[in-house]
Structure 1
Amino acid sequence: MTAGSSPRAVVRRYADVTGHAPVMPEWGLGFWQCKLRYWNQRQVEDVVEGFRRRGIPLDVVVVDFFHWPHMGDYRFEDEFWPDPEGMCERLHAQGVKVMVSVWPQVALSSENYDLMRQNNLLIHAEKGEDIAMMCWEPCTFVDVTNPDARRFVWDLCKRNYADKGVDAFWLDEAEPEYGTYDFDNYRYYAGPNVEVGNIYPLEYNKGFYEGQLEAGREGRIVNLTRCAWAGSQRYGALVWSGDVGSSFQDLKAQITCAIHMGMAGIPWFTTDMGGFHDGDIEDPQFKELFIRWSQFSCFLPVMRNHGNRSLSHPHADDPSLAALDAPHERLLKEEGEFKEVVRAQDGSPRFYSGADNEPWSMGKEVEAILVKYITIRNKMRPYLRELFDQAHKDGDPIVRGLFYEFPQDHRAARLSDEYMFGPDILVAPVVQAGARSREVYLPGGEETIWENLSDGQIYHGGAWQTVEAPLDVIPLFARQGKDQGLRKAIQEASA
């Protein structure tokens, strides 16, 4: 139990007990590009070339799941990724880092399954079939509470990913995600699941963090993860909110998630920009949501674009249409949407690839606004560096409820749709479809002066204000004299 006279005192003492986040590498401050899913090497390199050709800043590109032959192989599938080392070298030459998704599942068909089972590196069912999940094929999980299992998996990932140039790891399914949550039926090295199950994500992150430290990557470790536990932050855990829906209701909920994650002692947080599910890239309503979500993401610890995008009406000149009925079709109509089908040379299926999800995928207006906020993000790196350093040294959240900076303002404690981005910037995302203005509460007393960074208007604290928010504007306010260069960055990005 930690206690203190203010939220800041409590959180800082809690960080001293459970651990401080490490230093965020510089490339973590920029824009991250991902989709479900880039399924081959050429596709990844073409996307990065698209950013370069358009002059859009990019720090990280992410290779999502099912780039492997079978779950638990922990390597690229050769047919689709013939030269990952060369790919990483070429991307690095363009200033882009590479993150790869890793799952804790091990399929019964994996080349590593028998060895891992024989050496007790997998979780065990107490009764019945020893299968924990069906995802494409029957599988179980690495027992990350076993230090030998952590070492075994890291050694594979080092040899097959890190040594080939992969910079960071996306530790998905970190709960882990059981097919049926019969917790009393699973046993870990550390004990019965019902007693120790919550430490699984902590140990999962720990294995990769310690492995990367041994490999000499201190100061360059970020593990994107879907689940965390007390202390996960000290292992470089960047927690994202999982596969959330694509709706304004879900967008609003992410603000609360970010505030609560920081108060739980985990300062690194992000979301799937636009939500994960059901985003049709030709739907005007989704485009509006995506724009508003991208503005919010600009003012999160990590600005990351990801999602399982869909496409209801392929363009008439799309060459894929000609192959719809062919044996090796590229597009499959499923539940009213078109999805790209991936097949190996022998005709066997691979996991589908979602619709395009790059800044230019949804038309000129979306591209222009997203590029505006990527540019703002890039220009506020000095302020971001200060925030990450505070998180590392003191344990302060990066996203803070208004109550964190204004503990005496009782109205501030009840607000869940605006927040402080560090000590000086107030962010009020637009979370209603069609809205072009919103009500914003500016905390503090009459002596607290706020500047609207969009139009320069000055307001006193302790009052509600109605502010304009056209589609390309997110309401932002700075304590007077502490705009951290954002006013100039916004003006330059809007020009």
Structure 2
Amino acid sequence: MYTLESHGPAVIFACGERRLRVQFVTSAIVRVTVTEGRPFKPHTSLIVETPPPAVACTLEEQPEAFVLRTAALRVHVARATGALSYFDAADRLLVREPERGGKWLTPRDVIRNVYRKDAAIAAGQSIDGARANVEECDRVFDRHAFEAKLEFVFSPDEALFGFGSHEEGYGNLRGKARELYQQNMKAVVPYFVSTRNYGVLLDAYSLMTFHDDAFGSYVWAEVVDELDYYVITGDSFDAVTRGCHLLTGPTPMLPKWAFGYTQSKERYVNAREMLDVVREYRRRRIPLDVIVLDWKSWPNGNGWGQKSFDPVRFPDPPAFTAALHDLGARLMVSIWPIMTGDCPNQRELLERDLMLGNQATYNAFSPEARACYWEQANRGLFAQGIDAWWCDCTEPFEADWSGAVKPEPHHRLAINTGQARRYLDEGCLSAYSLLHSKGIYEGQRRATAAKRVINLTRSSYAGQHRYGTITWSGDICATWETLRRSIPEGLNFCVTGEPYWSVDIGGFFINHDPKLWFWRGDYADGCRGLTEMTALEPDPKDTGCQDRGYWELYTRWLQYGAFLPIFRSHGTDAAREIWRFGEAGTPFYDTIAEYIRLRYELLPYIYSAAAQVTLASATLMRPLALDFPADPRTHAVTDQFRFGPSLMVCPVTQPMYFGPNSTPIEGAAKSRSVYLPAGTTWCDFWTGAAHKGGRTIEAAAPLETIPVFVPAGTILPLSPEPQQYTDEKPDAPYEIRIYAGANGTFDLYEDAGDSYAYEQGAYSLIRLTWKQRSRRLTIGARQGTFPTQVTTREYRVVLLADGQRTTKTVTYTGAALTVAFQT
């Protein structure tokens, strides 16, 4: 039986040695903490760094329960078992725990390994980079802790999303299970959100699992010092995400160029090759903003992971980066948390006792180690003019990347977490990337406010978004099945409050190597495998995969990628530049070129939507179910999504023209079915044709077309004038496209495109408002200013209505004006 122990800023209940604390962070967010046999811990969270102060609630004692109430939320605590039930302001049940209680703590001891500095190190190399192991260690007691289990009773009609991106291709997580640990193709976030407008954030960092299956509905954590979690409520998905960010921190703006096209491969060998690639894009007038230097920037024969340029292949780094900048391109460079071969960076960290037990992976949990690692990266790379980080292998003890047969899921869990727990605290197995990202972000912020941090990283955790991170889905294979699975996995990642996600367009592995379970692409012709470790010059035989089946898959993948938060092509086996897929005037080349250019046309929309991520905790990549929770047919849709507030994207995930080995496909329909959610009229992005919602249609999808739909009333700002990079023509005209049929608004955001001056208010917003009845667009007065602001711009207002396209051109100078169309 639970009794009331105290009622202050937090309400504490007691049952024997167990203590249950319920504390309202806001009127719509409640924190629940459970401990047993010990006092509650002082707040030392890695996820919620500075929790807001508690707000008051009323407490009512009823015969069967305690009722805690705020203006937005009501929480029942069962006297008999401590089971909690959550209701919104309208007294609608959101979620509850089972009557038996639902919160379980099992005592356990945490043991840690202690390594001698002179222990023998077994260094090796895998497909996924360098590895180092130390076998001999002493195992010592560290602390008493708990296993924890938190059970739920979900409503039959709700859908659940979250917990990061994985491999299975799950959309709605009802009836599913997730193993929550970090691995090459698993990026974990301990948070889920419901179509009933609530989310649950677990403040824990150990191995975890989620189940909503025959074993029950629960989250289990292997090691916690206490069970600590937040239930976040709101009147919409966006409101719930705002609550999540209130706890975990705001998302900083990425630089505008990050939303352009990124060209990468495994790997560019030297400075000349990279400059030649950028120059070729410029010659062909295909837009490009970022080129990426994958692993092995460091000197040949100097170990793995040194954060500096090879003086042979990159003899003058400042001149190299300046030449890229002169071409309007930025440079992203891969860095690793592991350093081997007695390279200078490794020696420095060892001498300062800042390595983990394997003597090769730096201790990202140490502030001193993070500062040292940053100074190395700054000296060797950032001070040389690079623009962005690729923090690869940020789950540094991944250990299942070998063998011909893919290990069973439970075996993979044991392999990977077993290796990680050799060197990391069992209670922090999943938090390495979070702290690694913190060090990079805080280091660069100390160094300059002129460049925004951008960090492409393979792993993630709750709160990592506050460090300027983008997560990608790992080293995936070039198959249509992988493309299909990527869509719902990206959605499950982005709903966790971690807004920036990407994939290797075309898959990382193109070919099929029967000796390796993960190298299982479907296409061989023209593939060359990994770049030689000691290469000084690019391989002249690397002219791209020649399989037309792969060309089709790549083209469809790139169409999908054009509507992702980050638009990036990367992989091994074969080069991915546009000229590897034909030449101008051929269908694959022309389609790829069209969608790269479309990305740049959409930049005013994309950058404004990204600003709302920072200003209002919006989400760029959105499951239909969370935007249309009242339409149950959206719950099962896994191959469509919203990109920002307006675009519904419907990727093509089946071949229509070629199979593997360039085998022609005969008779395939050049269309795909599309579900149009109920409650609105949908307009074809390409034609403006209107369709009633609440039904499935067959949408045309020949090679050059990915079906895209927008709700009636959409206002879509575009930049139709061709540009080779994002800031080539800052004063280019805008097209303001209106899809008629309903009222609509859009906030057009502008700033300098880089630097953190926006944090001091150096940006502007222009409210665009469409009134359907009067057929008038109001362009509101510009709010805000910044030094490089374009004060006068041509707006071409295009109305798509009744099968007609009507254009009116105005000059906008910052004062409000109205554009009227004939009624």
Q: Shared fold (TM-score greater than 0.5)? A: yes
2:242 aligns with 12
Give the Cα separation in 1 of the matches to 2:435 and 2:256: 26
Q: Select between 372-381 and 175-184 the one with higher mean Cα deviation.
A: 175-184
- Please state how far the C-alpha of 1:7 moved relative to its aligned partner: 2.4
Displacement of 1:40 in angstroms is 0.8
Please report how far the alpha carbon of residue 185 of structure 1 lies from its aligned counterpart in structure 2 after TM superposition: 4.6
1:183 deviates by: 4.3
1:278 to 510, 527, 536: 510
The corresponding residue for 1:121 is 354
Instruction: Assess if the C-alpha contact under 8 Å between 1:22 and 1:219 holds in 2.
Output: no
> Are 2:342 and 1:109 equivalent residues in the alignment?
yes
In structure 2, distance between residues paired with 1:184 and 1:464:
47
Matched, 1:49 2:283: no
What is aligned with 1:224? Answer: 456
Q: Does 1:89 align with 2:322?
A: yes
Note if 1:155 corresponds to 2:387: no
Deviations 1:39-70 (A, max 9, x none): 11110010011111111111111111012132
Task: Say whether residues 1:369 and 2:591 are aligned partners.
Answer: yes
Among 389, 396, 399, the residue aligned to 1:176:
396
Matched, 1:261 2:477: no
Q: Which SS does the other structure have where 2:344 is aligned?
A: coil
Match of 1:412 among 613, 634, 643: 634
| Contact in 1 for aligned 2:601/2:720 (Cα 8 Å) | no
CA distance in 2, matches of 1:260, 1:153: 32
* Residue-by-residue CA offset, 1:17-48 (whole Å, 9 max, x unaligned): 11121012111111111011001111001001
Residue 204 of structure 1: aligned partner: 436
Distance 1:76 1:253, change over 3 A: same
Letter in 2 for 1:404: L
Q: Does 1:400 align with 2:622?
A: yes
Percent identity between the aligned chains? 35
Q: Is the 8 A contact 2:398 2:420 kept in 1?
A: no
* Displacement after TM superposition at 1:219 (Å): 5.8
2:602 aligns with one of 369, 374, 380? 380
Matches within 5 A, 1:350-361: 355-361=574-580
Are 1:291 and 2:523 an aligned pair?
Answer: no
Distance 2:341 2:234 in 1: 51
Q: Give 1:81 deviation, angstroms.
A: 1.0
> In the TM superposition, what whole-angstrom CA distance separates every residue of 1:122-177 from its partner, at most 9, and x where no partner exists?
111xxxxx37xxxxxxxx31111111111111111111111111011000101124
Whether contact under 8 Å (1:379, 1:489) holds in the other structure is yes
Q: Is 1:463 the counterpart of 2:685 in the alignment?
A: no
Equivalence for 2:678:
444
Residues 376 and 486 in structure 1, CA contact (< 8 A), matched pair in contact too: no
Q: Does 1:186 align with 2:422?
A: yes
Q: Is the 8 A contact 1:405 1:423 kept in 2?
A: no
* Cα distance in 2, alignment partners of residues 378 and 488 from structure 1: 8
Match of residue 146 from structure 1 = 366
1:62 aligns to what?
A: 292
Residue ranges of structure 2 left out of the alignment (5+ in a row):
1-229, 400-414, 512-522, 524-544, 657-668, 723-734, 736-823
Deviation, 1:274, is: 0.6
> Given that residues 99 and 167 in structure 1 are in contact (C-alpha distance below 8 angstroms), is that contact kept between their aligned partners in structure 2?
yes
Structure 1 contact 15–394 (Cα < 8 Å) conserved = no
Point out the more displaced range, 294-303 or 17-26. 17-26
Correspondence for 2:332: 99
Displacement of 1:489 in angstroms is 8.8
Give the strand-richer structure, 1 or 2: 2
Per-residue CA deviations over 1:171-192 (Å, capped at 9, x if unaligned) read: 010112433632475345xxx2
Q: Which residue of 1 aligns with 2:470?
A: 238
In the alignment, the residues of structure 1 paired with residue 703 and residue 397 of structure 2 have an alpha-carbon distance, to the nearest angstrom, of 38
Do the aligned partners of residues 439 and 101 (structure 1) sit closer, same or farther apart at CA in structure 2, a change above 3 Å counting? same
Structure 2 residue 290 is the aligned partner of structure 1 residue 23: no
Deviations 1:315-366 (A, max 9, x none): xxxxxxxxxxxxxxxxxxxxxxxxxxxxxxxxxxxxxxxx321011121332
1:372, distance to aligned residue in structure 2 (A): 0.4
Cα 1:483–1:467 shift into 2, 3 Å:
farther
- The alpha-carbon deviation at position 485 of structure 1 amounts to 4.7
Higher relative contact order, structure no. (Cα contacts within 8 Å, ≥ 6 residues apart): 1
Query: Deviation string for 1:444-472 (max 9, x for gaps)?
Result: 22xx1111122332101111010110001
TM-score, normalised by the number of residues in structure 1: 0.83
Deviation at residue 410 of structure 1 after TM alignment: 1.3
Q: Is the 8 A contact 1:21 1:392 kept in 2?
A: yes
SS of the residue corresponding to residue 467 of structure 1 reads strand
* Bigger shift: residues 229-238 or 410-419: 410-419
1:426-441 map, 5 Å: 426-434=648-656, 436-441=670-675
Q: Residues of 2 paired with 1:227 and 1:88: CA distance?
A: 27
Aligned 8 A contact 2:604 2:718 in 1: no
The structure with more helix, counted as a fraction of residues = 1
Higher mean C-alpha deviation, range 251-260 or range 166-175: 251-260
Encode CA deviations 1:87-131: one digit per residue, 9 max, x unaligned: 10011011111110001111043223233223221111xxxxx37
Aligned length: 427
**Counterpart pick for 1:164 among 371, 384, 387:** 384
Contact preservation (8 Å) 2:354, 2:368: yes
Give the 3-state SS of the residue equivalent to 1:186 in structure 2: coil
Larger Rg, first or second structure (1 or 2): 2
Question: Within 2, Cα distance between the matches of 1:122 and 1:186?
Answer: 14
CA 1:44 to 1:443, structure 2 compared with 1: closer, same or farther past 3 Å? same
What's the counterpart of residue 424 of structure 1? 646
Q: Which moved more, 1:250-259 or 1:65-74?
A: 65-74
Aligned partner of 1:322 in structure 2 is none
In structure 1, stretches of 5+ residues that fail to align are: 125-129, 132-139, 310-354
Q: Is the 8 A contact 2:603 2:719 kept in 1?
A: no
Cα distance in 2 between the residues matched to 1:212 and 1:16: 24
Q: 1:68 to 1:219 in 2, by over 3 A?
A: closer
Instruction: State the alpha-carbon separation in 2 of the partners of residues 223 and 112 from structure 1.
Output: 20
**How far apart are the structure 2 equivalents of 1:72 and 1:270?**
24
Structure 2 distance, partners of 1:18, 1:170, is: 23
SS at match of 1:141: coil
The answer to whether the 8 Å contact 1:8/1:404 transfers is: no
- 1:350 corresponds to: none
- Counterpart CA distance in 1 for 2:297 and 2:719 is 42
Q: Which amino acid aligns with 2:383?
A: D
Q: State the Cα RMSD in Å.
A: 2.0
Structure 1: how far apart are the matches of 2:280 and 2:431?
Answer: 41
Aligned residue type for 2:310: E
State the SS of the aligned residue for 1:451.
Answer: strand
Query: Bigger shift: 404-413 or 235-244?
Result: 404-413
The answer (yes or no) to whether the contact 1:376–1:489 under 8 Å persists in 2 is: no
Query: TM-score, normalised to structure 2's length?
Result: 0.50
Partner Cα separation in structure 2 for residue 262 and residue 356 of structure 1? 29
Partner in structure 2 of residue 331 of structure 1: none
Q: How far apart in 2 are the matches of 1:291 and 1:177?
A: 34
Change in 2 beyond 3 A, CA 1:441/1:64: same
Conserved 8 A contact 2:600-2:719 = no
TM-fit CA distance, 1:394: 1.9
Maintained 8 Å contact 1:440/1:465: yes
